[in-house]
Chains A and B, each alone.
Chain A
Amino acid sequence: MVRFEEVSLHYDAGPEILSRVSFALDPGSFHFVAGPSGAGKSSLLRLLFLGQQPSGGRFSLFGRNVAGLSRGERALVRRRIGVVFQDFRLLDHLTVVENVALPLRVTGQKGQKIHEHVTELLSWVGLADQLNAFPPTLSGGQQQRVAIARAVIARPSLLLADEPTGNVDDRLAVRLLYLFEELNKLGTTVLIATHNESLVARFSHPVLRLKDGSITLERAPYVTSSTAAGNAA
């Protein structure tokens, strides 16, 4: 599904954010990416949704070397990835339904079927009564759920979430994590970046821990594996 081989990342002449990082995620796996603020969690996710080119190393997605993908192929790969952004990135001038339907619209799908599909998903995340609301009128938790619905509407193979519980209370955070687990059970590979250690501790999923540009794998009950190059699956 995902394979990093000695991948490095730095912005311009800045310090290395990631230093020769290696890991792999198997299909259907569920991982946390943990680490303090500024450790490079968001940068790692940005690499994964092809929002950033690595400075060095090689990584592959869905069995294909990313460096060899054309622009058109990169767009097709992105369609297989759902992303939940820390700041939601909802479009304020579109309704909840229109926001969630965006990933389907860019693939050329149209009509009533999209509406039914989106409505069903929004009911599942508890937003059936907010279909035609605009994002600025929603609470943080509701916006978060819209962002999640948008990320999963196209049934992505890989779901990336950047601090998805950062703007909600603990009770809702746990509920959202259960939601991700449900998606994972349906076959979606899930990778969640968070600095909420107590939340990580509540779920028995392996953790990719970022520190000083390196990555280590911890498995429940969170014993650090031998090297940064360990297979995370």
Chain B
Amino acid sequence: MDRDASGPFLPWIVAVMVYLATLAVAAALLVNQVTERWQKDLADGLTVQVPPPAAEDSAAAYGERIDQLVRLLSDWPGVVRAQRLGPDEIAGLLEPWLGETGATQDLPLPGLIAVELAPGAAPDVAALTATLHAVAPGVLVDDHQRWLGDLLALGQSVKVGALVVVLLIIFSAATAVVFLTRTGLAIHQRVIGLLHVIGAHDTYIAQQFQLHALRLGLVGGLVGLGFAAATILSVGAWLRASRNEVLPDLALSLGSWAILLLLPPATALVAMLTARLTVLRSLARMP
């Protein structure tokens, strides 16, 4: 069986399939990691945005207004801490988009107050906003829910997309195995016929094919995983080297790598079962 013409193709087909599946699953795992991290970071916090000082406002009056807001927020039920962000911190937040140009000095930027909530606290944002409005009209209270909701929806879409890709890849791999096994059956028809006549059970004959498919599938799967791991590590290294601050850190966790390691044996198992079913169905046509 090792010498049949279909043999060399199976590992390469499986390698390509596992390569694509690994990238799709890795993308889904990364998105999951990132959304979980962002959700954790943002869920227990609020951001209060104070409109930039009007022309008639003095810096001292503007500062006093923000301090008053911080005090109000600190006393609000469920708030652990409220802290005004300084100009440097605001500039740091804008740096990924505007660069280190110092242009923030000339821009009318709103004042920002970061509010840390007690775990599980859900303050009445409307009431809070109304209270803060009395001190500083035009103030905005952002509980990140809309943004977080959009982010989670995006993450969910990516995960569903990855699942569809993986299912398509499994279907394609199984179809390829069916055709290659049928080719193998045709090539080995003489051997199969003889084994059948001398009393081999169908499962014995199928075993020869399924073990062959398992071995080739495993080899192909490991090759595909190797190339995919190299791709993932290279992209991660490139992103770190380019000091990209818009995208989060795209390093996969150990748990995610463990999931990716399951792909080659899972694909080999699909190849093995497909080969077994194909052979058994063909043998069922023999008397």
List the interface of chain A (C-beta within 8 A of B): 49-53, 71-72, 74-81, 83, 89, 91, 93, 102-103, 106-107, 150
Contacts and interface: CB of A to CB of B under 8 A. Distances in A.
B200 A51 contact: no
A91 B191 contact: yes
A107 B202 contact: no
Given A50-B287, A52-B287, A93-B3, A75 B201 contact: yes
Contacts of B200: 75, 106
A77 B204 CA distance: 16
B146 interface: no
B202 A71 contact: yes
Interface size class of B (residues with CB under 8 A): 10 to 19
Of B193, B194, B198, B204, the most chain A CB neighbours within 10 A belong to B198
B190 A103 contact: no
Chain B interface helix/strand/loop/mixed: helix
A77 B200 CA distance: 11
A66 to B, nearest CB: 10
A104 B200 CA distance: 10
B198 A103 contact: yes
Interface of B: 3, 190-191, 193-202, 204, 284, 287
Contacts, number: 47
Given A71-B202, A72-B201, A75-B201, A102 B3 contact: no
B188 to A, nearest CB: 10
A51 B198 contact: no
Nearest to A66: B287
B198 A106 contact: yes
Closest 10 CB pairs of A and B: A79-B199, A78-B199, A106-B200, A103-B198, A75-B201, A75-B199, A53-B287, A89-B194, A106-B204, A49-B197
11 contacts: A71-B202, A74-B287, A75-B199, A75-B201, A77-B199, A79-B199, A83-B197, A106-B195, A106-B198, A106-B199, A106-B200
Contacts of A52: 287
A104 to B, nearest CB: 10
Contacts of A53: 287
Contact of A102 (B198, B201, B287): B198
A79 B198 contact: yes
Nearest to A80: B199
Contacts of A49: 197
Nearest to B284: A71
A83 B197 CA distance: 8
